[in-house]
Structure 1
Amino acid sequence: MAKTAIVTGSSSGIGRASAIALSKAGWNVVLTARRADALRETASLCDSESPEKCLVLPGDVTDEEFVKKLFGETVSRFGRVDLLFNNAGINSGAVPLEDISLETFQNVISVNLVGPFLCAREAVRVFKSQNPVGGRIINNGSLSAHTPRPFSVPYTASKHAITGLSKCIALDGRNFDITCTQLDIGNAMTVLTQRMGQGVPQPDGRLIPESTFDVEHVASAVVHLASLPPDVAVPHFTIMASKAPFAGRG
């Protein structure tokens, strides 16, 4: 019986690549993000021989009622949930702390932390109620969950919070075969990271181009983590461009 994954933020970038890779590895895949047209494009790139194994559910992961609907319709369609990839996230750009509006800060926290919390909560409810019990959650962290970039207060705060969320999920889920991995990604090549070739602000004030790597390697890592048996946990997984300025950043 095929396993089932829910991938948030699967309309582009890391989410799209991971959803396609999971589909081609034989998983049922539930695609969710706010842009329905982009989700349908992702679905068209999934396993074309088994289109019935792909479910498109557009919506906003910060909307509690939508998240409940997302998991309810997934269970109704496929019977269970085996993986949640909490991938949806946003950034606010490089802005000094004193110039960040409360609205901007709250928006980043809502998408990057409240959304993953809501999805994880519903996932755990399903994991505990299904037979056999258990499941796996992968939370998209960041190198910024460890070391910040300049002028990145909202994003960095949200990603540090993901670390706490991930640790609590792993601890509280231990007796129910629920595992949680924080996947920290550094400079995977997507539309959002194309600007890195033109230069990224560094702590010393310089603007320096940064190395990137093929997003397909992130997708392969997600498939690998997803395929592990329930008695194997990977609390942290860091994948990054080998020349990305992380060790010694700042």
Structure 2
Amino acid sequence: MQNVPHDKVALVTGAGSGIGAACAQALLRDGWRVVFAGRRLPALEQAIAAAGDPWGDIDARALAVSADVSDAAAVQRLFDTLQQRFGRLDLLFNNAGVFTPATPVDELPLEQWQAAVNVNLHGPFLCTQHAFRLMKAQSPRGGRIINNGSISAHAPRPFSVPYTTTKHAITGLTRAAALEGRAFDIAVGQIDIGNVATDMTERMAAGVLQADGSVRPEARMGMDAVTSTFLAMARLPLEANVLTMTVMATGMPYVGRG
């Protein structure tokens, strides 16, 4: 841990709960100035309060901004607010995402498909676009973007066409943006996370549908494994980049046949 405050600025989307909240709090404790972004302002404020006040100036180092990343105007306001408050951006964590109910592709409502595309893909694109503009123009220029992918970017779960498709697309966004960012000192990478213990994965401990049609419980890992891996990526100098990183519960059915 750096454990000293500094002037680097981070923006985390979907920071009101789960992985987003945990990583935003870890950045704050690591000395970053952090914008917690998400749809629900009370949840963002609670996440900031739960981080404590490690440097005695929480109001100067953390900011909650309500924003729907699928809304272009809201993303514009988010980045305007960030720039007015902190003046620059050193790290963007594109974390906001939604799951859709397990549904066979031929029965999938169009609204569920559109919701997944809007939040899981359109949102990271909009935030990446704004981050590039800011990182190119600021002095010193450059910065880092980390996209929250998924194990589903490599191996789908049954009945997960919207989520899996958008997470595959995130890998394309990561690689294409990493290529474009080279000339401007912008490093772009992706973290693929498998089965971290949160409220959203409690059903996995009880038993979830497998590719062979069986229902079996799956191993989960603690959130500290995710935040420590994320911080290792975030702290790298811009001359180095982790293009893709997978952190997963050791016992989950992913490698080989499970």
TM-score scaled by structure 2? 0.95
Count residues in correspondence: 250
Return the match for 2:57 from 39, 50, 68. 50
The AA in structure 1 aligned to 2:70 is: T
Amino acid of the residue matched to residue 32 of structure 1?
Answer: A
Q: Is 1:248 matched with 2:256?
A: yes
Q: Structure 1 residue runs of 4+, over 6 Å off? A: none
Secondary structure at the residue paired with 1:189? coil
**1:3 alignment counterpart:** 8
The answer to whether residue 195 in structure 2 is matched with residue 187 in structure 1 is yes
Q: Deviations over 1:189-222 (max 9, x none)?
A: 1110011111010011000000000112211222
SS in 1 for 2:254: coil
CA deviation vs aligned residue, 1:148-181 (integer Å, no higher than 9, x gap)? 0111000000000000000011000001110111
Is 1:41 paired with 2:46?
yes
Does 2:168 match 1:151?
no
Any stretches of 5+ residues in structure 1 without a counterpart? none
Contact 1:127–1:133 at 8 Å: present in 2 too?
A: yes
- Partner residue of 1:163 out of 151, 166, 171: 171
For the residues of structure 2 that align with 1:220 and 1:66, how far apart are their CA atoms?
30
Report the Cα offset of residue 46 of structure 1: 2.5
What is the DSSP-based 3-state SS (H/G/I as helix, E as strand, rest coil) of the residue aligned with 1:196?
helix
Name the counterpart of 1:128.
Answer: 136
Of 106, 109, 113, the match for 1:105: 113
CA offsets 1:16-68 (integer angstroms, 9 cap, x no match): 00011000000000001111111110010224122120011012001111111
- 1:215 matches 2:223: yes
> Is residue 231 of structure 1 aligned with residue 239 of structure 2?
yes
Give the match for residue 141 of structure 1.
149
Who is 1:25 aligned against?
Answer: 30
Q: Distance in 1 between matches of 2:254 and 2:203?
A: 18
> Partners in 1 of 2:174 and 2:137 — Cα distance?
20
Q: Given that residues 23 and 47 in structure 1 are in contact (C-alpha distance below 8 angstroms), is that contact kept between their aligned partners in structure 2?
A: no
Counterpart of 1:221, as a letter, is T
Q: Distance in 2 between matches of 1:19 and 1:249?
A: 35
Match for 1:46: what amino acid? A
Structure 1 residue 141 displacement after superposition: 0.3
Distance (whole Å) between structure 2 residues aligned to residue 216 and residue 60 of structure 1: 27
The one-letter amino acid paired with 2:183 is: N
TM-score, structure 1 normalization: 0.98
Measured in 2, the distance between the counterparts of 1:65 and 1:216 equals 34
Equivalent position amino acid for 2:171 in 1: T
Q: Aligned equivalents of 1:189 and 1:7: distance in 2? A: 20
Q: Which deviates more from structure 2 when the two are superposed, residues 64-73 or residues 43-52?
A: 43-52
Query: Matched residues in 2 for 1:88 and 1:216: separation?
Result: 19
Identity level (%): 49
Residue of 183, 197, 205 corresponding to 2:205: 197
The CA distance in 2 between the partners of 1:249 and 1:191, in whole Å, is 27
CA RMSD, Structure 1 to Structure 2 (Å): 1.0
Pair 1:96 & 2:101 matched: no
